[in-house]
């Protein structure tokens, strides 16, 4: 088996008594597009900083391209083949975009600079101070990829990008993956993970909740059936072995997540008048409810997780999961690991 592009083993970081991350283990193969999903404050940025050697772990190890981060001298060679976008990229305010890139080029090369700038243009001759958030993010993107890295580690790389550029960026990431580049990025946006990732690790309160293949995750999670009826619906009628989740929404409609057996479903529906019926693919939001709602969820894997299960990953702006019963708890999570 080839050496994994990223290998994290028992990685633990405490800031004094405060847990950053604890006992994190995961492995990313070369050429994978890997998502690292969790609410704000879950430990995503800490993990990324540990992975790049900016922080020293309290315990455990992390390796990139087979070289452990704490082997300082050898790791410097690895860094020549690594690209990085920090969570909130800060450049030098009074320096123009062009000079900023010149500087980074001197430190690690810029074979692909022009190609990237064609695709993600920024006002090169203005000082970075005058850049919009989106332009700053694009500049960060160019500097992260311009030396043609083998591994790219990004902390919420799409924040601040407008939707069109975001799509272009997703497309770009897929192309990079197809060229064999390993892409590891953190996000709190579920739709993003579904859109681009091959696999995803889910982190919460500094601990890994699951590492899953996106397709498996979606396949196993079945379909969502929404039934609108003037009658009052009895959930007991829909308690089939295939039922993953059934609930009555505040508006009286029923939301059923099922992994099949539509015959039984149709039979059960016969007893009701039906105003509206919708069967759709599970949105990734529905799937992740398992990890954050119920700790023994379908795909919980073998990674233990906490039991104070009131947290969920932030909803995508698209509002795909408008039918979730809980208000977005992202705010509650915000301060968990400050």
Partner 1 sequence: MRELDIAAFEFARRRRGLVIVSVLLVATAGLTIAVYPSFGESDIDFAELLESYPEEFQAAFVGSVTDISSLEGYLVVELYQLVWLLIVGSYFAYAAGSLVAGEVDRQSVELVLVRPVSRTRFVVGKFLAMLPAVAVVDLALLAAVVVGAGLIDEEIHLTRLLAVHAVGGLYLVACVAVGLLASAFFGRVRRAQGAAIGVVFGTFLLDSLTIDTDYEFLGALSLTRYLDPGELLVAGDVDWGGIAVLVAVTCVLVVLAAEVFERRDLS
> By the criterion CB under 8 A, which residues form the site for partner 1?
46, 49, 52-56, 72-73, 76-77, 79-80, 82, 84, 86, 88-92, 94-95, 99, 103-104, 106-108, 140, 143
Least CB distance from residue 192 to partner 1, whole Å? 22
- Measured from the CB atom, the residue of 56 and 133 that comes closer to partner 1 is 56
> Which residue blocks in the chain are alpha helix, DSSP H?
44-51, 72-79, 97-108, 113-119, 133-145, 163-178, 190-196, 214-220, 262-269, 284-292, 330-334
The least distance separating partner 1 from the CB of residue 44, rounded to whole angstroms, comes to 13
Nearer to partner 1, 103 or 262 (CB): 103
What is the closest distance, in whole angstroms, from the C-beta atom of residue 48 to partner 1 in the complex?
10
Least Cα distance to 47 among 29, 32, 35 occurs for 35
Q: Which is nearer to partner 1, 17 or 251 (CB)?
A: 17
Q: Measured at the alpha carbon of residue 61, what is the angle toward residues 60 and 67, in degrees to the nearest 5?
A: 170
Q: Which helix (H) or strand (E) holds 207?
A: strand 207-213
Q: Pick between residue 142 and residue 283 the one whose CB is nearest to partner 1.
A: 142
In degrees, rounded to 5, the angle at the alpha carbon of residue 324 between the alpha carbons of residues 318 and 326 is: 115
Residue 12 beta carbon to partner 1: minimum distance, rounded to whole angstroms: 14
Could you give the CA distance from residue 248 to residue 254 in angstroms, rounded to a whole number?
A: 4
Angle of helix 133-145 relative to helix 97-108, nearest 10 degrees?
20
What angle (nearest 5°) sits at the alpha carbon of residue 126, between those of residues 123 and 130? 95
Pick the closer one to partner 1 by CB: 128 or 256. 128
Shortest distance, CB of residue 208 to partner 1, whole angstroms?
A: 20
Write down the least CB distance from residue 141 to partner 1, Å: 12
Nearer to partner 1, 152 or 313 (CB): 152
d(CA 53, CA 48): 9
């Amino acid at each position: 088996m080839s050496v994994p592009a990223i290998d994290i083993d028992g990685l633990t970081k405490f800031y004094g008594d405060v847990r950053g991350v604890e006992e994190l283990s995961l492995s990313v193969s070369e050429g994978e597009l890997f998502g690292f999903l969790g609410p704000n404050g879950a430990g995503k940025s800490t993990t990324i900083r540990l992975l790049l050697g900016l922080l020293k772990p309290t315990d455990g190890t992390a390796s990139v391209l087979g070289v452990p981060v704490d082997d300082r001298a050898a790791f410097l060679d690895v860094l020549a083949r690594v690209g990085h976008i920090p969570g909130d990229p800060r450049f030098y305010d009074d320096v123009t975009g062009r000079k900023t890139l010149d500087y980074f080029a001197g430190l690690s090369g810029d074979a692909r600079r022009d190609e990237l700038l064609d695709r993600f243009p920024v006002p090169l001759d203005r000082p970075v101070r005058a850049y919009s958030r989106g332009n700053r993010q694009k500049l960060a993107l160019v500097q992260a990829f311009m030396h043609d890295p083998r591994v790219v580690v990004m902390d919420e790389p799409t924040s601040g990008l407008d939707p069109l550029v975001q799509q272009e960026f997703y497309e770009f990431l897929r192309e990079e993956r197809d060229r064999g580049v390993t892409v590891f990025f953190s996000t709190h946006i579920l739709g993003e993970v579904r859109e681009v990732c091959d696999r995803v690790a889910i982190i919460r309160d500094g601990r890994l909740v699951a590492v899953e293949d996106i397709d498996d995750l979606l396949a196993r999670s079945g379909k969502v059936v929404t039934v609108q009826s003037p009658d009052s619906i009895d959930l007991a009628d829909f308690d089939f072995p295939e039922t993953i989740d059934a609930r009555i929404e505040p508006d009286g409609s029923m939301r059923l997540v099922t992994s099949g057996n539509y015959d039984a479903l149709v039979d059960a529906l016969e007893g009701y008048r039906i105003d509206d019926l919708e069967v759709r693919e599970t949105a990734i939001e529905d799937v992740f409810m398992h990890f954050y709602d119920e700790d023994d969820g379908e795909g919980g894997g073998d990674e233990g997780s906490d039991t104070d299960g009131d947290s969920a990953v932030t909803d995508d702006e698209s509002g795909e999961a408008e039918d979730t019963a809980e208000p977005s708890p992202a705010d509650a999570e915000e301060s968990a690991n400050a």
